[in-house]
């Protein structure tokens, strides 16, 4: 991979035939933020505006459109931290926040895109501003995970009046090796993932694994569900073997603009999965050694008609959202 970050990003776009552009704007302003609910309570999801993901090859991903092609200084990211914690809604709900998920639509542990100074500033501010935080979740690719950095972060979380746990959130996308690495271009063999699990195991850090239902062209709904079933079995085995608490975050794929999926969708060659397929995929986790969260938000990045949400889906969507809060698998029954 080329050494210059900007060249890396553009090379990824070229490799994946992406034709979107990046966003250049006020670097002191967050990209996105929202609240969501899971079984443990209220989750605050913060997406920071930084330089785009340097990998930038994953098929169907246009999240880098919310990022910059250029360097964003750590002082500007620190200003975004201040902005997040000064929001009226965040301040009013600060005592109920159970988990904070930190994203930059790439890798928070990549110090080229998210400088360490900004990350440690975030830790210090969060320790004061979110007193009942139980989990700090950091999105990253495995290659940016460094043992000494994890220890420092975990130590800082342990210094809180109420101790919080560290969770790493990793994009897995598909379980099938060919689909994940040769078609989707994720660039993450199972050996890399298992190495990350082994690194985390002595400290019992938590692990969140993002999967996508039907992420590639030419995959049927049945094949997509079967792939998630195999992933659930695999994650169950890894959690049992290592003692690492694992969560599967299952996102139904939406058609993101500026990607090959959008081109195929326009030609009638790709259809997003249904919520019924989402429920059918997740049911397999009943009794397994992992938790499941169903992502039901396309972040406003889908092309017209390219969302997984369809007319008449609201009752099932409400059931899936209740499942996220309760882990009651009876809600997933057909």
Burial of 221 (0-12, 13-18, 19+ CB in 10 A): middle
The total domain count for the chain is 1
Instruction: Give the rounded distance of the alpha carbon of 147 from its chain centre.
Output: 21
* Residue from 284, 292, 291, 294 nearest 317 by CA: 294
pLDDT, position 258: 87
Q: What is the mean pLDDT of the chain?
A: 94
Are the C-beta atoms of residues 72 and 80 closer than 8 Å to each other?
A: no
How far is the CA of 186 from the CAs of 9, 45, 151, 214, 224, in angstroms?
A: 14, 23, 27, 15, 17
Q: Give the span between the Cα atoms of 44 and 289, in whole angstroms.
A: 25
Burial of 304 (0-12, 13-18, 19+ CB in 10 A): exposed
Q: Give the span between the Cα atoms of 164 and 68, in whole angstroms.
A: 31
Max avg pLDDT among 107-116, 155-164, 292-301: 107-116
Residue-wise pLDDT tens digits, 255-309: 988 888 999 999 999 999 999 999 999 999 999 999 999 999 887 788 999 999 9
Helices and strands in the chain: count of H runs, count of E runs: 11, 8
CATH number at residue 211: 3.20.20.70
pLDDT, position 36: 94
Predicted model pTM: 0.93
Calculate what percentage of the chain has a pLDDT beyond 70.
Answer: 99
**3-state secondary structure string, 20-71?**
CCCCCCCCCCCCEEEEEEECCEEEEEEECCCECCCCCCCCCCCHHHHCECCC
Is a pLDDT exceeding 90 seen at residue 178? yes
State whether residue 170 is helix, strand or coil. Answer: strand
Q: Give the span between the Cα atoms of 63 and 59, in whole angstroms.
A: 11
Is a pLDDT exceeding 50 seen at residue 13? yes
Instruction: Give the rounded distance of the alpha carbon of 298 from its chain centre.
Output: 12
183: domain range? 5-332
Is a pLDDT exceeding 50 seen at residue 1? no
Q: Give the span between the Cα atoms of 164 and 152, in whole angstroms.
A: 13
């Amino acid at each position: 991979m080329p050494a210059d970050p900007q060249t890396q990003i553009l090379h990824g776009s070229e490799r994946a035939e992406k034709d979107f552009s990046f966003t250049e704007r006020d670097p002191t302003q967050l990209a996105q933020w929202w609240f969501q609910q899971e079984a443990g309570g209220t989750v605050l999801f913060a997406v920071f505006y930084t330089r785009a993901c340097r990998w930038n090859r994953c098929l169907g991903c246009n999240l880098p459109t919310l990022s910059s092609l250029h360097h964003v200084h750590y002082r500007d990211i620190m200003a975004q931290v201040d902005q997040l914690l000064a929001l009226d809604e965040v301040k009013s709900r600060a005592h109920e926040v159970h988990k904070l998920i930190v994203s930059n639509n790439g890798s928070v542990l990549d110090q080229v895109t998210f400088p360490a100074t900004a990350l440690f500033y975030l830790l210090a501010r969060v320790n004061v501003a979110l007193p009942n935080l139980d989990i700090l979740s950091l999105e990253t690719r495995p290659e940016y995970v460094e043992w000494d950095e994890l220890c420092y972060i975990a130590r800082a979380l342990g210094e809180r009046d109420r101790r919080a746990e560290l969770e790493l959130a990793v994009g897995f996308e598909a379980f099938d090796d060919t689909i994940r690495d040769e078609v989707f271009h994720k660039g993450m063999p199972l050996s890399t993932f298992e190495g990350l699990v082994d690194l985390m195991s002595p400290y019992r850090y938590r692990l969140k694994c993002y999967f996508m239902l039907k992420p590639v062209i030419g995959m049927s709904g049945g094949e997509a569900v079967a792939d998630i079933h195999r992933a659930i079995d695999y994650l169950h085995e890894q959690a049992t073997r290592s003692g690492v608490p694992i969560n599967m975050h299952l996102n139904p794929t939406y058609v993101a603009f500026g990607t090959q999926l959008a081109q195929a969708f326009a030609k009638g060659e790709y259809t997003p999965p249904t919520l019924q397929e989402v429920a059918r995929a997740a049911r397999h986790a009943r009794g397994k050694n992992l938790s499941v969260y169903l992502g039901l938000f396309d972040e406003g990045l889908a092309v017209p008609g390219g969302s997984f949400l369809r007319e008449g889906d609201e009752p099932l969507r409400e059931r899936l959202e209740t499942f996220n809060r309760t882990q009651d698998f009876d809600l997933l029954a057909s």
